Amino acid sequence: MASVMRRVLAGWLVWSMIGYAAASVWAQEAAADPAAADAAQPAATDGAAPKPAANSPLVIEPKTPEELFEAVVLMVDLVRPDVAKLYLQKFMEVDPQDDLLLALREKYGPGVFLKLSNVKELQPLSIELLKRNNAAFARFAQDPARLDALLKELVSGTGAQKTAAQFQMQTAGVHVVPALISALGNPVYAESQNALVEMLALIRDGAVAPLEAALTAPNPRVRLAAIQALGLIRYPSAIPHLLRFAGQAEPSEEKASASKAIATILGSPSIAAAQSSGVASRLIQQARDYFNSKVEYVVDTDKMVSTWVWSDQLGTVQERRVPPAEAALHDGLFFAKAALDVAPEQLDVQTSYLTMLLAQEATISGIGKPIKTGPGTVHDLASSLGPDTVSRSLDEALEWRQTPAALAALQILSKIGTVQQVRNVSGKQSALQRALNYPNRRIQFAAVQTIVALDPTTRYPGTDRVIAVLGKGLTQAEATQHRGLVLDSVIERGQTLTGFLKTLGYEPSLVRTGRDGFKVAATEQEVDLVLIDANIQRWALSETIANFKADPRTKDVPIVIYGSSLSERSGRVQTQQYRNVLFIQEPSAAEDLKEQIAGFLERQVEAPLTPEERSSKAVISAELLSFLTSGQRRALYNLTPIESQLVTEVENAQLAPWLLPVVGALPTQPAQVRIASLVGDDGFPMDVRTIAAKELTRHVRQHGLLISTEQVQALHQVWDQSSNGPLHAELSSLIGLLKPNSALIGERLRGAAVNQAPTPEPPKP
């Protein structure tokens, strides 16, 4: 940086001295520094020396890429980010290649690129530069030929070669770890395990995550070396990973090495021995913490995190860039599998591992889509475990608010479940019943599909709820707003909170007592969020929350308690006693409310249905309603609450074939009127009109003629003019039901076409 620094000093001299003196200074420097002399020479392009950037303290502009980068670093050190940005732009315009970036990294160290990336005024160029430098170094460090040479020098070179190889690998850090781990499983390096383990330990923090992934390697030699290396690094986060081996029931080399590694990390064999008790429970809790996003990840600027996995194809570990939620699922599955290895018969471990497997499979399939079936799939595995195991997994998924896992479990239960799971067991709500009342439209609908597939023959808790969910499923117009409910005995404050919710996109309602709020939530069952004042009256806060959490219809509705610092203690008691309850300070604005509840609602807000989902949901609803109103099932279900949806949606030509029998089951005038209108509607397909005529005949026969005289005349006209055989046949039955008088009967008989007797064939000679 000396040349640029000299230019800065020269600039200061120019500002403080007359031009002649300044020229003298630069002439002296040029004589002493050929590079500076070259920089002072006129450019070949325009015959003039490069001019300094605006406001730059440099009298002579840097010309080469190296000088430009040097100027960027210097300007940052001098707290001149405005000028640094100008030089950085020029440097990036050069399009620096790997050799230049590596040379700069060698000269200034890797930290300078991170330092520049954190200067806000230099972003996003400085972030792009950091990424390009890291990529260049990764390509350099991971060059197969170079790595192979380094490995050979490390294990069989001279003393100087080994030292040099260690230094280069240590400098490369995490970039050479996959190659080192691959070598652990290579028979060529079977006699060099100690050297490889020591090298991994020298890399320290950068090797921890890849080594943790190597613990899942199929090769026991790789696993054992990874255990030893983690013990030498002494990184506390490795302890849960090591516990899966230390907690094994049977003695093994891995068990002994893991116990030794934990003792090394903790610095005490006795404490390490205590760590080995209750391993399965600790591992499964660790898995749940990851799965439920209770473990925070370091998120990079691209909002992704790094996770390491074992690759059978590569024979070593591999880094993947994934969203935090995917990383949480991956790590959760790792620890759940570890717990299963330690205690394969422990019921809660089995349940949690299955729940995470279902979540992973459903995430891969995509929200709203069924998981894959067939040999080797999670679907077939879960199906083979029996309905009780899958039901426990469903209950756990609902408790953890893991929608994908719950949907997958319901898909499986629709095939292997039993009618008993539709009902309460020993006075306790079953998982299927809970799903039916869960505040998530997809889960509610999947629960209905499962219940209908199980086909109960007698009424059960939630019979009417099934019809309500199917009625809403008929419409393809999705609600654009979530429902919010505010419980506050002070009207003015309650209205303010209601306004905040409206600003955040909710359709809010306000009630003044805890009792009324509970009634609204329990009866409407369409509430997505409840806000409760900590000083709510009639019922008090504790009683209100207790009732919400005790009733299956409101148990899972997210509740936010708001209040002052004085009421915080009572609010915190509720959050500790019940799941899915949050206490916040009374918000002063909608943004304040949003900020305080954002994390709480992150996994509660349901993703909008896609157009394909809405269309499919409507068709399935129509099919299921048609099934439920056939045969003896009709006596179980009351369709009256959804009459308006049925009468409206039966005009949908796509749904009409299934809905016409359902509407026909309604003993009302609007139902008969709507069916009759479809019979005479030329805009509908002929097969739909024929079904409508058949249902109209049935409806009139059961409930009498409820349509107007005008509609009757219109039906007569359709009958007279129709040339379609099936439609005319069905309408003939209807016309006969209208009991024509004797004159009309005679007229119709007289108009009947009479076939002439066939002419006899002449006798054969």
Instruction: Please state the φ and ψ torsions of residue 561, each to the nearest 5 degrees.
Output: -95, 130
Helix spans in 525-637 (H): 541-550, 568-577, 590-601, 611-628
| Cβ atoms 528, 484 nearer than 8 A | yes
- Which mean pLDDT values do the consecutive 10-residue runs of the chain (765 residues) have? 46 35 37 40 42 69 89 90 90 89 81 87 91 79 81 91 85 88 94 94 94 96 96 92 89 93 85 72 94 87 89 94 92 94 94 97 90 96 97 95 95 95 82 92 95 94 92 75 92 96 93 96 85 95 95 90 89 89 95 92 76 90 95 91 94 95 96 96 94 96 93 93 92 87 76 70 71
Annotation: CATH topology of 482-601:
Rossmann fold (3.40.50)
What's the pLDDT score for residue 412? 98
What's the pLDDT score for residue 384? 97
What is the CA 188 to chain-centroid distance, rounded? 44
Q: Is 428 exposed, middle or buried (0-12, 13-18, 19+ CB in 10 A)?
A: exposed
Instruction: Please state the φ and ψ torsions of residue 483, each to the nearest 5 degrees.
Output: -90, 130
Question: Nearest 5 degrees, angle CA 725-CA 727-CA 729?
Answer: 65
What's the pLDDT score for residue 756? 65
Within 8 A by CB and 6+ apart from 411, the residues are 370, 371, 379, 446, 450
Residue ranges of the domains in the chain?
A: 2-140, 193-339, 346-455, 482-601, 667-738
Q: What is the DSSP letter of 425?
A: B
Question: Which residue carries 């939530």 as its tokens?
Answer: 521
What's the pLDDT score for residue 38? 41
Within 8 A by CB and 6+ apart from 393, the residues are 351, 354, 355, 358, 382, 405, 409
* Cα 180 to Cα 161, 186, 224, 400, distances in angstroms: 17, 10, 14, 39
What's the pLDDT score for residue 467? 95
Q: Is 234 exposed, middle or buried (0-12, 13-18, 19+ CB in 10 A)?
A: middle
Gyration radius from the chain CA atoms: 38
C-alpha to C-alpha distance for 432 and 465, rounded to whole angstroms: 13
> Residue 420 is encoded by which pair of tokens?
């008993």
Containing H/E element for 67?
A: helix 65-77
C-alpha to C-alpha distance for 31 and 23, rounded to whole angstroms: 12
Q: Is 145 exposed, middle or buried (0-12, 13-18, 19+ CB in 10 A)?
A: exposed
Within 8 A by CB and 6+ apart from 674, the residues are 647, 650, 651, 663
Question: Nearest 5 degrees, angle CA 237-CA 240-CA 243?
Answer: 140
* Nearest Cα residue to 493 out of 531, 436, 463: 531
What's the pLDDT score for residue 549? 92
**E strands along 469-590, which residues?**
482-487, 506-511, 529-533, 559-563, 581-585
What's the pLDDT score for residue 15? 36
Within 8 A by CB and 6+ apart from 498, the residues are 484, 486, 508, 509, 510
What's the pLDDT score for residue 336? 96
C-alpha to C-alpha distance for 180 and 200, rounded to whole angstroms: 7
What's the pLDDT score for residue 54? 59
Question: Nearest 5 degrees, angle CA 349-CA 350-CA 353?
Answer: 80
Q: What is the DSSP letter of 707?
A: S
What's the pLDDT score for residue 98? 84
